[in-house]
Amino acid sequence: MTVRKTIDAASDSLTQSERKLAATLLSDYPFTGLLNIQELAEEAGVSAASISRFTAKLGLDGYADMQRRLLEELRRGNVSPVDLHDRSTRIEGSFLAGFLARAAAQIESAGDAITEGQFDRITGLLSDPRRRVFALGGRISDTIAQHLTFHLAQSREGVYHISRDPESWPGHLLRMRPGDVVLLVDFRRYEPALERLARAMSTKRVKIVLMTDSWISPIKGNAAEVLAVPIETGTVWDSYAAALAIVEALVARIAELTWEDTRTRIEMWDATRALITETKT
């Protein structure tokens, strides 16, 4: 369990000063937790002794133990497939059956990544016709963003997939209006260019929905909603099965909520596609 999840699990038992400390730690996670104990105490407005009691309540062996765990999380957020292979867990027996079992378990645990309330908030944002929707992912994870925009565009207008070419980004930024929604998908190893783009987007006062992993992309600092989905399979490759399942749940729910408009748009879409792809005989 990450330190973030440990803090979340203990939230109901925290005192007022401990809640202040938890909020400070999570405000720029995990980096605030890497300050020395006196700096963190000053930042949070608590005593060093309060920090020691807080870490003990979390079941950690002091502040140094918490920092060690945070550093390990940072290292795990920057691992390559070579690193993953070295620490992978061998699948015994049928590889296909074993891998599918792990992917199924990953999808099942995805419910911990997003609450029903958060799911409803995000579907509300993505389905609001007053808000335009933009999406972009990383070098590999952009397929998740493309999947969202392809299906969402059949339910509503104003849906744009942002090109991976940074030269196109200024045009999209100029098009954005306050209140528009941007889905950014950023899994380990995180892309600095996406973080810079998110900072620029924040000046446009858009709502950024970040889909990331349990180690949390640095984009989190500019995001209105963060979906930390499971990606580890214990093999050389991370799996985006859970991320894809969440995106499919979002677009399916939006289609149901707006079914009359969605049906009309799909019918028009199909008729137009047939018209322009019709082969002359």
* pLDDT score at 105: 84
Q: Is 247 exposed, middle or buried, given 0-12, 13-18 or 19+ CB atoms closer than 10 A?
A: buried
DSSP designation for 113: G
* pLDDT score at 86: 54
pLDDT average, residue stretch 6-19: 88
pLDDT bucket at 262, cuts 50 / 70 / 90: very high
**Calpha distance 156→123 (Å, rounded):** 13
More reliable by pLDDT, 163 or 28: 163
Of the candidates 64, 65, 66, the residue with the CA atom closest to the CA atom of residue 26: 66
pLDDT digits (tens, 9 = 90+) for 198-249: 999 999 999 999 999 877 888 988 999 988 888 887 776 788 899 999 999 9
More reliable by pLDDT, 90 or 140: 140
Q: At residue 183, what are phi and psi to the nearest 5 degrees?
A: -95, 120
Scanning the structure block, which residue is given the tokens 């207008």? 157
**Calpha distance 72→69 (Å, rounded):** 5
